[in-house]
Structure 1
């Protein structure tokens, strides 16, 4: 049996403030809320080093709730 999971990645805009972790977490939380009834399976934070400094991103893996009839 195959299992499919959805995912998205988000980061702050490149440049000044790109390393603002609290801002990134708030943005990710708002996106999760906008998805509706989902189950989050995993959150993974990555950090890329750029000329402007660390640039974190978060990938969220989630499953849509099964429709109820």
Structure 2
């Protein structure tokens, strides 16, 4: 019993500090927290794809 309370106390400590990846189960509002990173990575991929299509993949394509 004491060991279970200790584990719960440690998990609560991690949750309060924003480290849900080390805690079992699905933390609340995880999708809201990761949305900015997902949007940034998706936007970066779109931007680089557009720029490589416009400028070319290699230096020879760019010089043309």
TM-score, length of structure 2 as denominator length:
0.30
Rg comparison, structure with higher value? 2
Q: Comparing both structures, which one devotes a greater share of its residues to helix?
A: 2
Scaled by the length of structure 1, the TM-score of the pair is: 0.29
Q: Which has the higher contact order (CA 8 A, sep 6+)?
A: 1
